Structure 1
């Protein structure tokens, strides 16, 4: 390390990246703090049935975003990592991706609308409320899809300021709207979702204005059909896994919605709100680490990046779980008096969140490098582990669902690590090819 720092070029590089990442970290912490304020205001203000409906609607919104992507974002990042300096090629790639996401969004909207209405009605929401929440779930799908594709350009170009603005301004608007609704006594599941909708629309407007000038250098780029074929090839490989993981991401909410009462749905949704502490990883991971991981061809650097990311995640999770064990009341205070009794559930849910976060990070690395050839094995491995866990845990309680998450998440994490190691050692054997 000392010999590496003895070179002026390396010291300059370290200083530059430290400055960039520290500045980005400050903004990301502010963004996550604002999102946390919005979330905890909703948790503390809404009654349990109302918060249960908001939890279901939020989950369906996440489901819709993933289904409408189905691997398109991963394909754009992977392909864009090789052509990001060619604006004409990037424009063709972006246009191909936008067209594909529009088609996928139309199909996903039909599926999600039906599931959303069913879950909301089965948990006591009136028809008008269920319909209104479902409409708010579907409304921003074009903005979410477009933002996801366009932001890849910002990330590959490491446009720090633009990325920060696109994250910070919508977070400020959502927190302000949510706070105003609380002060005016107008916060409800519908108005809380409307604040989320406003933030999505604003973010789309900002990102569109940032990225389009870069891509308008060529009015009619060629190669759209070729890029469409390349994206579709990756989507076909990723779609089964993406769809499966999309369903998995909301499985616990669905299970407890079916097997338990509305109160348990609210309890689990409130505890899951604490996953916001891991969102601090999301900014640097998506904006810097994954694009850099996609661009680099140095095997040693890939290993170092992977090991550093895993070590950082383990360390952070250890600190968080220790704090929850020693000072659980502090965490539960954030959720409000309705959830102050969930001491044992708190530690279990946070453990499940930690394992799921680690698994998600490793799969993100795998997908970015297109180490996906045998990704279909995820489905039988997960289903077998879940079938076994279903017999061991009571899915009508928060404790049981938390145990279910921990057991199955550990299996999924092991599988992700195996695929990652194979990719690092034998990249050609697991590449999409």
Structure 2
């Protein structure tokens, strides 16, 4: 069949080709992420519904500390690997050296992370009424998940830089389905927090094996850590680590405050509401997989970078507003997902998702500018955040669920302002 000349012009137009390319990427990534996030949400709901309130409170504390351990063990290494990898992503040997250096640094940071986080977890679990045996079982279940997460965030940078999306999404899809199946099979029989942690961690360990295969198809596995690369990564780490250490306290401020001033039920309620914020993960993963690696690869052209920056943030803002509109319109129906023990939290649900949306936008802006190797001085960011937290604690009742959620909004808004200001400043002054 002969194709008419006008259609041929459209088909050969670079803009049309780019549109089709992005359409395929978004369809593949968005489709698989819809399934991943849906299975993740179902897995979370199963955990919420099957675990008694006290067990779920302990599960929430353990997951919070797992996130803290991951932040401490990273300390900015991922940002350094992304920034350095973005410069040499087409060179198999050099990219292999970047990955090897990042993994080597991560091992060193892991020990310090364990020494800090595990005693804190033991203290919080004991304060929440967990027995010695329960505490030991939770810690034992948490450590394997921690060590798997150590390499995950670095290994996935390689296929992201090469935009090898399909293998990456298949791996994540396999892990999420396995987690759902394992959680369903085990928690019906053994409704304990440490079982829920194992059911989440074991599939990730299997996925880590596949992730290594994907990453090492693009880099030389024989490469050793490089001193020059190590120096460049550590330069970024030195700028990010103080902020990361501070973030370990401020990033989960709602959990820390409610675990100290609130009740076990309040911990469970904050944790359950946080599960519904997984809806925002769809946008977060989509941007971190498709957008941020491409932003890291862009040349330092002021006009181009500013255009891309505002396109990304504007699109994300629209999606967040649409999601918040749905939650505002149907809060009771959404809360039915969590179960009867969490009914009546309509106001808290909306407040929580507003805070999570603001935090997500700020985090994406932070990831965008750190992907270019730019880091705000820790003294500035930490000072501003400490002032925000102190002010919020003075004027808000942090012993209640709604009080700590409003505090979260206040802190997230302040962080969004200074991340945006710094990003625009760096982009304008390229």
Q: TM-score range by the shorter chain?
A: over 0.9
Paired position in structure 2 for 1:431: none
Q: Select the residue among 88, 95, 98 that pairs with 1:90.
A: 95
More divergent stretch after superposition (316-325 vs 334-343): 316-325
Paired position in structure 1 for 2:6: none
Judged with a 3 Å threshold, the aligned counterparts in structure 2 of structure 1 residues 175 and 86 are, in CA distance, closer, same or farther, namely same
Paired position in structure 2 for 1:234: 236
Q: CA deviation at 1:6?
A: 9.1
1:164-203 to structure 2, matched below 5 A, reads 164-182=169-187, 184-203=188-207
Q: Select the residue among 106, 109, 113 that pairs with 1:104.
A: 109
Paired position in structure 2 for 1:161: 166
Distance, in Å, in 1 between the alignment partners of 2:256 and 2:268 is 12
More divergent stretch after superposition (148-157 vs 300-309): 300-309
Distance, in Å, in 2 between the alignment partners of 1:92 and 1:6 is 41
Judged with a 3 Å threshold, the aligned counterparts in structure 2 of structure 1 residues 42 and 343 are, in CA distance, closer, same or farther, namely same
Unpaired runs of at least 5, structure 2 = 1-8
Paired position in structure 1 for 2:215: 211
1:17-416 to structure 2, matched below 5 A, reads 17-182=22-187, 184-216=188-220, 219-220=222-223, 224-297=226-299, 298-416=301-419
Q: CA deviation at 1:304?
A: 2.5
TM-score by length of 2: 0.94
Contact 1:140 1:197 in 2 (8 A): yes
Q: CA deviation at 1:19?
A: 1.1
Distance, in Å, in 1 between the alignment partners of 2:319 and 2:334 is 16
Q: CA deviation at 1:373?
A: 4.3
Q: CA deviation at 1:213?
A: 3.6
Contact 1:27 1:168 in 2 (8 A): yes
More divergent stretch after superposition (240-249 vs 296-305): 296-305
Q: CA deviation at 1:368?
A: 1.1
Distance, in Å, in 2 between the alignment partners of 1:306 and 1:197 is 35
More divergent stretch after superposition (160-169 vs 242-251): 242-251
Q: CA deviation at 1:153?
A: 0.8
RMSD: 1.7
More divergent stretch after superposition (208-217 vs 393-402): 208-217
Distance, in Å, in 2 between the alignment partners of 1:36 and 1:423 is 37
Q: CA deviation at 1:132?
A: 1.3
Q: CA deviation at 1:14?
A: 1.4
More divergent stretch after superposition (370-379 vs 360-369): 370-379
Contact 1:358 1:413 in 2 (8 A): yes
Q: CA deviation at 1:375?
A: 4.4
Q: CA deviation at 1:417?
A: 0.8
Q: CA deviation at 1:199?
A: 2.1
Distance, in Å, in 2 between the alignment partners of 1:191 and 1:6 is 54
TM-score by length of 1: 0.94
Judged with a 3 Å threshold, the aligned counterparts in structure 2 of structure 1 residues 15 and 207 are, in CA distance, closer, same or farther, namely same
